[in-house]
Amino acid sequence: MQIAIDGPAGAGKSTIAKIIAKELGILYLDTGAMYRAITYGIWKNKIDFSDQKAIADFTKENTIDFKGTDVYLSGEKVTEEIRLPIVSRHTSDVACIGEVRRLLVGQQQSIAGCHSVIMDGRDIGSVVLPKADYKFYLDASIDERARRRAIEQQARGIDQDFDSIRESIAVRDYNDSHRDEGPLVCTEDAIVVDTTGKSIEEVCQVILDNIRGGKAHVL
Ligand code: CDP
Ligand code: CDP
């Protein structure tokens, strides 16, 4: 089984996908964490964010692994580091590089080739799993998405004010929607779920109703 979840930052994709994966007993793959891990490595190694060749080479030469809820970049645990504001700011610069996308999409597709999987990202329904059994596009107002992210950053002990989070999300959404390769799109066959004002449980229920063929309703 293949399930694709796409949508802008803070729409609730990873939270929902993790719960659905557990519920259905299938693998969850956080593709955003892969782009973030490469971005963290580029920053840590002081590679220029405008040097697309060096970034593509770095992507080729390093490995990304998931163990439980942890993310590793060439053996180094980077679970917390990939959520730093500096990483969030630069991930869309890295994610717009065609060669980087081809490499990571290839890895994502080979995982889907041998596991039932739910993946979240920006190009899952359009590029990574175009034949997915189910495609969902989660959305929410920008204020709600920024509020959610602000609460999260606070809990992580990262000091970032609401306005800068909102601005960073808006810039990232714009960049993600306007790049040439694998832009954020809502495919025609995706079920759109507006999560504004909705609890995590309510959103999960809509998704599970659709998957199980029950009486589905789009929020
Ligand atoms: O969790 P959040 O929505 O903030 O972002 P994420 O899913 O962790 O993804 C971080 C960034 O990676 C996005 O803003 C995109 O630039 C990039 N990304 C992508 O280009 N394609 C994907 N399939 C997933 C993420
Ligand atoms: O993966 P994405 O960037 O789309 O969003 P997320 O990281 O799953 O969700 C961002 C935050 O919003 C998390 O802290 C969730 O607990 C919260 N959330 C929520 O409050 N209500 C929802 N319906 C979905 C997510």
The ranges assigned to domains in the chain are 1-25+116-204, 26-114
User: pTM, whole model, 2 decimals?
Assistant: 0.95
Q: What are phi and psi of 59, to 5 degrees?
A: -65, -40
State the number of CA atoms in the 13 A half-sphere of 68 facing the CB: 4
Both structure tokens of 67: 């163990």
pLDDT recorded at residue 216 = 47
**Would the CATH topology of 1-25+116-204 be identical to that of 26-114?**
yes
Atom of ligand 1 nearest to the CA of 88: 10
Give counts: helices (H), strands (E), the chain.
Answer: 8, 8
pLDDT(218) > 90: no
Instruction: Please state, as a whole number, how many other Cβ atoms lie within 10 Å of the Cβ of residue 201.
Output: 9
Mean pLDDT, residues 92-112 taken together: 97
Q: Probe ligand 2: pick from 13, 15, 136, max atoms within 8 Å of CB?
A: 15
pLDDT(56) > 50: yes
pLDDT recorded at residue 23 = 94
Give the burial class of 20: count Cβ atoms within 10 A of its Cβ; 0-12 exposed, 13-18 middle, 19 or more buried.
buried
User: What residue's CA is closest to ligand 1, atom 9?
Assistant: 32
Q: Rounded distance, CA 58 to CA 16, Å?
A: 31
Mean pLDDT, residues 177-187 taken together: 96
pLDDT recorded at residue 214 = 57
CATH 3.40.640.10 is the classification of domain 26-114: no
pLDDT tens-digit profile of 118-171?
999 999 999 999 999 999 999 999 999 999 999 998 998 888 899 999 999 999
pLDDT band at 172 (very low <50, low <70, confident <90, very high): very high
| Superfamily of domain 1-25+116-204, CATH level 4 | P-loop containing nucleotide triphosphate hydrolases (3.40.50.300)
pLDDT tens-digit profile of 26-49?
999 999 999 999 999 999 999 999
Residue with tokens 């509020």: 147
pLDDT recorded at residue 219 = 46
The answer, yes or no, to whether ipTM is higher than 0.85 is yes
Instruction: Point out the annotated binding site.
Output: 7-15
Residues enclosing ligand 2, CB less than 6 A? Answer: 7, 9-15, 120, 148, 152, 195, 198-200, 203
Sheet holding 76-77, edge to edge: 64-67, 70-73, 76-77
